[in-house]
Structure 1
Amino acid sequence: MSATNHAQQIVQRLWSYCNVLRDDGLSYGDYVEQLTYLLFLKMAHEQTQEPWNRPSPVPEGYDWPSLLARDGDELETHYRHLLEELGRQPGMLGLIFHKAQNKIQDPAKLRRLIVDLIDREQWMVLGTDAKGATYEGLLEKNARDVKGGAGQYFTPRPLIQAIVDVMRPQPGETICDPACGTGGFLLAAHNSIVERYPHLDPEQRKHLKLHALRGVEIVDSVTRLCAMNLLLHGVGPGPAEADIEPPVRTGDSLNSAPSDHFDVVLTNPPFGRKSSVLVVNEEGQQEREALTVVREDFWATTSNKQLNFVQHVKSLLKIHGRAAVVVPDNVLFEGGAGETIRRKLLQECDVHTLLRLPTGIFYAQGVKANVLFFDRKPPREQPWTSQLWIYDLRTNKHFTLKTKPLQRSDLDEFVACFNPENRHQRTPTWSEENPDGRWRAFSYDELIQRDKVNLDIFWLKDKSLEDGENLGDPDEIAADIVEDLRAALEEFETILADLAPNGVVAD
């Protein structure tokens, strides 16, 4: 049986038990979080056995055998204290158990999860591929829980794979994701290096494991999922390396200028137009205040967090460092600070590629997004951007999460057109003779002359709008309408919050 098939079987077995726990009010996210704690403890114990015989990173009395030895209320009480104690430990241990709480209140169900499900599998024997695929499968199922909002932390893996395939991270490079979610970009970069360079020397392997990858995530519980995901893929410090900084931390990337700079930045920042916070005013009413990020290293001051992330990504890069960042459409056309940022980006960086993404591929509904590729360059008078190549994967393309999900093969033409071997030698597929070509270039002069330097550029005819053309599948049309309405509603809610007196929005 292949690692993938074995992983799918384990995922199905573990996931089916979640339905039992949901009757007790446990969400998918809570369930995955509890699995994270228990999987770590089980694997830490397995490492103390043959053939590894390694010391356990978990203090005695708070380990896996201590859970197996208890039942009933005693088990639930001990598990609660165990989580609190491990959250105070240093290194990856403290990171995974930071602020951990037991959400499984029924001792009998907790016992079954420990003994009948997790203890029956030898996780260390599975190998990195199966362990990683199992956990990724759980994260993806969790992302489908739209009500819980988990999807915003999960970027479609086929898209991540295509981005990494064209970015081609190298041994010895440092790779950062300042909005890392569950770690998809970091792991894809890691796996790409391992697969493309099978003969890394010991120093290169050590660097890849301990120092190459860095992630920041603003939500504590998601940082935990990311840390566990990395650990299951063999990334991060082990028990003997507790003094080394873990590869991921909890924090707000936008808070301050970075102290470290990286060769590669890969990221899909959180969607949502503006950064804001609810506060209580002097009258005791709640009001929403826009969080405007003010940083000396930014080109423009704005409360639009996507525009701020674009500026932050640029500041994270080393000179000649390269980035791929997922951005919503408004980053390409918004005026004011948006125009300033686009002008500066085209001037100071080589903005060489834009991938227009289709709708229906993200768990967050109504998202119209793109991938912007650029390299940071040293200061000079003339602009660094000479041509922006655009690939349109959106027009006349329809994907859904269930019936027609995005596959890596759907991005094959984009990867070939990108020409990662030598992106300075590219051939357009669009021409006047072939107006349906999805790949074409626009010069710097053409871009800068567009109103507000609008980079939201498209040229293909939408066949659903042409007279006499088949309008398409009714389900697809309905799904598109629903997504557009959701996106419009979010925009209206943002505008309403901005226009309401004192920022107070009535219920």
Structure 2
Amino acid sequence: MWVPASLSWRLPVEGAVLPDNGKFVDEVFRDPSVRHGLRIFPAESIDQLIFEVRNGKLNIRCFATNRWRLAKPEEVIRQLTVLMLSNQYGYPIDRISVEVPVKMGSSYAAKKADIVVYRENAKLHPHIVVEVKKPRRRDGLEQLNSYMNATGVYFGAWINGDDAVFQWRNEPNLFEQLHRLPASHESLDDVKQPMTKGQLRPLLDLRDEVEYLEDTVLANAGVSAFEEIFKLIFTKLYDEFEKAETDPVEFRTTTAPAREQYERLNSLFHRACEEWPDIFAPTENLELTPEALISVASALQTRRLLDADLDVIDAAFEYMINPEQKGDKGQYFTPRSVVKMCVKMLNPKPGERVIDPSCGPGGFLVHSLQWVTDRFLREKFARNLEKRKYDYAGSRLFGIDFDPRLVRVAKAMLLISGDGKTNIFRVNSLDLREWRSRTDGLEGRVKDGTFDIILTNPPFAGSITQPEILGSYDLAYKGDPTNNKRSNRMTRDVLFIERCMRLLRPGGRMAIVLPQGNFNNANADYIREWLFDQARILGVVSLHPNTFKPFTGTKTSVLVLQKRKPGESTDESEPIFMAINELPVKNNSGDYLYRVTDGEFDLDEDGKRIVADDLDEIADAFIAHARAQNLSFWSESD
């Protein structure tokens, strides 16, 4: 694949045909606001493009009309798509038209179809419609579907250059995704030949896909969109987990009758439930109608979920789980940059037990697994790395949450990462009554004073008023049950501080996200005094107000501490690491901000965009501070 270099250059003289397509394309796409890209096109296609300066502006030759057009990003994508249809799929240029009027009822659509491929040179019968101008998946598919219904074509494609979706119109308003378009000599049966696991494409934007499905296929399905999409994600994970790279996948649609396809996919779901029995009940079934199931399954069938970008999956789950309900409970998914900073600062090691008593989708646990794998296991145990990961996750990582949906998500995320699902429990961390007389092993495996590390972002909205819960916490008595009356109401985040401290062993360490008021409000003095007595405060990182947008603008900080050992005295002179997160993870709208150099997104070693925050630098500064203070978990050898 061609990756543009960072270049600086001026327009050639009028009428000059540009000899270096790479330089031109780089100039067109250098603006970071451009949402089209070039990921899916090979370098040889870009070399075939023809550019010329006309009237002081860069133009590109249209292969379908043999005319010059302004070289905007979407026009470059259109010409590359025309080349793809001709070179890869074998459609003659004479059968391809651009800017085709589409009749909608008695009038024509305001916007013309970007590309239409016809069955014959006379261009009488449309065969394929392609949408390239709308860069966002949801907008592009809505536009494409309207054109496919209006023209009666069975095949269509949305392409923005970074990603592509290929569709087959099964019937009006019911569309099925394919892994490619048919070539000029092929039928639907040819396209629907089984894919191997190795042929699955990377997952780039699951949230947009889910949003589109909710607004179309699932809008009137009468089922929980979260439950049914999650069942299918779960089923597909199992299918990929069981397959070698050269094995054909079973999670796919075919040309068989809809009911037969439903039975096959439902059977695959039951096999997944048997293999991983603690996520769904064995009596559960896929609840979608066969027709709706085919549409939803087809949207996932071409993508690889195992080893996928966890940020992509996180964003989809965050969207699917009702934001209003989460907001009422003060639950907000922790941005991955914050998670990575906390994990890096605490430096989990293979022999240490880690718990998140408000684990949500499992982000802290997943990244603890990744940290230990990359830093300690990968080089030492290269030959049996997967087994070592499995053993570590199964014996050292623990998560708790009271939301059944989030418990399922956490188990799935750990399945994707390395399988720590057996240590995720559904229980209210604050209500100790729920911990008694259980049959899931919670009491024996999660005991107070046994954890080396706690990483957590507890709910920071809502209050606890039940006397049976409040009576179990010293902080409900302002830290002193012998001299103070119990409060009638306590915010949950305050009680979580004490609950976490109990779970930690003496000398254990914790990173916890808390509302800023706990650090500076006058009426929270007793919380700070109690904490200084119980733990050494190692650091405080003030997070940017945009961190949890669009769900809340609450100002938060990360508190890093180490639980004192019995008999250890307090020392007010102990230095505390202080930092302010000045470069936000997100903008005011809650969209992630990415680093850009010379107009190009900066990419990490895995080809993922790097978030434009300063949290990794803050983690590095904390590590230097920890070593200077001779903190045991960050020695010079670490």
Counterpart for residue 228 of structure 2: 34
Change in Cα spacing, 1:297 to 1:68, as seen in structure 2 (3 Å) is: farther
Choose from 471, 482, 503 the match for 1:294. Answer: 471
Going by fraction, where is strand more abundant, 1 or 2?
2
Please report how far the alpha carbon of residue 12 of structure 1 lies from its aligned counterpart in structure 2 after TM superposition.
4.3
Counterpart for residue 371 of structure 2: 192
Query: Matches of 1:103 and 1:117 in 2, distance apart?
Result: 17
Relative contact order, higher structure (CA 8 A, sep 6+): 1
Instruction: Give yes or no for contact 1:223–1:249 (8 Å, CA) kept in 2.
Output: yes
Query: Matches of 2:585 and 2:336 in 1, distance apart?
Result: 18
Q: Does 1:16 align with 2:212?
A: yes
Q: Does 1:409 align with 2:596?
A: no
Q: Does 1:217 align with 2:401?
A: yes
Please report the TM-score for the alignment, with normalisation by the length of structure 2: 0.52
Choose from 552, 576, 588 the match for 1:388. Answer: 576
Please report the TM-score for the alignment, with normalisation by the length of structure 1: 0.64
Q: Does 1:119 align with 2:301?
A: yes
Counterpart for residue 411 of structure 2: 227
Query: Matches of 2:274 and 2:506 in 1, distance apart?
Result: 34
Instruction: Give yes or no for contact 1:317–1:376 (8 Å, CA) kept in 2.
Output: yes
Q: Secondary structure at the match of 2:337?
A: helix
Change in Cα spacing, 1:171 to 1:68, as seen in structure 2 (3 Å) is: farther
Please report how far the alpha carbon of residue 414 of structure 1 lies from its aligned counterpart in structure 2 after TM superposition.
2.1
Counterpart for residue 541 of structure 2: 355
Instruction: Give yes or no for contact 2:584–2:613 (8 Å, CA) kept in 1.
Output: no
Tell me which moved more, 301-310 or 345-354: 301-310
Query: Matches of 1:68 and 1:251 in 2, distance apart?
Result: 44
Identity %: 21
Please report how far the alpha carbon of residue 167 of structure 1 lies from its aligned counterpart in structure 2 after TM superposition.
1.5
Change in Cα spacing, 1:204 to 1:82, as seen in structure 2 (3 Å) is: closer
Q: Secondary structure at the match of 2:554?
A: coil
User: Residues 227-248 of structure 1: CA distance to partner in whole angstroms, max 9, x if unpaired?
Assistant: 11111112226xxxxxxxx121
Counterparts in 2 of 1:91-490, with a 5 A limit? 92-97=276-281, 104=288, 106-114=289-297, 116-121=298-303, 123=304, 128=307, 130=308, 132-142=310-320, 146-149=323-326, 152-197=331-376, 198-201=378-381, 204-236=388-420, 246-256=422-432, 259-260=447-448, 261-276=450-465, 292-295=469-472, 299=479, 303-333=490-520, 338-363=524-549, 364-380=551-567, 382-384=569-571, 386-393=574-581, 399-402=587-590, 405=593, 407=611, 409-420=613-624, 422-425=626-629
Please report how far the alpha carbon of residue 141 of structure 1 lies from its aligned counterpart in structure 2 after TM superposition.
4.0
Query: Matches of 1:381 and 1:321 in 2, distance apart?
Result: 14
Whichever residue aligns with residue 251 of structure 1, its letter is V
Whichever residue aligns with residue 531 of structure 2, its letter is L
User: Residues 416-450 of structure 1: CA distance to partner in whole angstroms, max 9, x if unpaired?
Assistant: 33135734459xxxxxxxxxxxxxxxxxxxxxxxx
Instruction: Give yes or no for contact 1:346–1:383 (8 Å, CA) kept in 2.
Output: yes
Please report how far the alpha carbon of residue 355 of structure 1 lies from its aligned counterpart in structure 2 after TM superposition.
1.2
Q: Secondary structure at the match of 2:546?
A: coil
Going by fraction, where is helix more abundant, 1 or 2?
1
User: Residues 7-42 of structure 1: CA distance to partner in whole angstroms, max 9, x if unpaired?
Assistant: 215654454323214532779xx4343222112223
Q: Secondary structure at the match of 1:354?
A: strand
Please report how far the alpha carbon of residue 320 of structure 1 lies from its aligned counterpart in structure 2 after TM superposition.
1.0
Tell me which moved more, 409-418 or 347-356: 409-418
Instruction: Give yes or no for contact 1:33–1:225 (8 Å, CA) kept in 2.
Output: no
Choose from 190, 203, 223 the match for 1:7. Answer: 203
Q: Indicate the RMSD between aligned Cα atoms, in angstroms.
A: 4.2
Query: Matches of 2:253 and 2:232 in 1, distance apart?
Result: 12
Q: Secondary structure at the match of 1:182?
A: coil
Instruction: Give yes or no for contact 2:353–2:452 (8 Å, CA) kept in 1.
Output: yes
Larger radius of gyration: 2
User: Residues 194-214 of structure 1: CA distance to partner in whole angstroms, max 9, x if unpaired?
Assistant: 222222435853432311210
- Which sections of structure 1, spanning at least 5 residues, go unmatched? 54-62, 238-245, 277-288, 427-507
Instruction: Give yes or no for contact 1:355–1:370 (8 Å, CA) kept in 2.
Output: yes
